[in-house]
Amino acid sequence: MAPLAPFGRYILVFDLDGTLIDSAPDIAAAVNALFGELSLPQVAVDLVRRWIGDGAPKLLERALAHVGARQTSAELFERFSIHYGENVVKLTTVYPDVPETLAALSDAGCRLGVCTNKPFKPTLAVLEAFGLHRHLGAIIGGDSLPQRKPQPEPLWEVIRRLGGEPPQAVLVGDSAVDLACAEAAGVPAIIIPSGYGMVAPEAPITAARFAELRDVLARL
């Protein structure tokens, strides 16, 4: 592996779903397990992938609306969380080059954190299951603060916990939610599109795959 160039921005904050991991199959399985209990139609994983990004309650709201259910997300969220919590890493996979790249960035002196709208408990479970937590100095989930992305406060909090400030930071994500959060927080975003989210982001800084991240960082 080629030596890493020094980065002017060394506080690197990552989104989770759609950026580090492909969790849509497990999330879809949880939705469909819940819907099976309620005799509701099953939903395709590709649809669930599009609904991810604004937090689990919003995802469930979109799924219920799609099948025309009368129940609300608030009524069913606890049961959905149980289904997902029991199978959080059954079908989920880490994207190619993620473990190696995180390790290399950490070894180069970068400080790494995660800022996600996924609730904290399953976030930590996934990161620990794949050994990614060992590279991270701060983790903020969708229920860690009163705010969630695209509001800037979760990103600012990760940066603060990593001992940095916005001028030293970059957000690496995949969605329009990540891009809007970074813009609100006053930091650049590197977007690696993955098909997650309702709207494709129109980002000025992109990478086609995770392995390109170090080269993109070197150009900032």
Tokens 């397990």 appear where?
Answer: 33
Torsion of CA 175, 181, 182, 185, to 10 degrees: 180
Chain Cα centroid distance, residue 166: 19
Q: Please give the angle made by the CA atoms of 212, 216 and 220, to the nearest 5 degrees.
A: 170
Q: Which of 15, 17, 26, 178 is catalytic?
A: 15
Pairing status of strand 93-94 against strand 21-22: antiparallel
Q: Please give the angle made by the CA atoms of 197, 53 and 56, to the nearest 5 degrees.
A: 130
Residue 15 annotated among the catalytic residues of the structure:
yes
Q: Which residues are catalytic?
A: 15
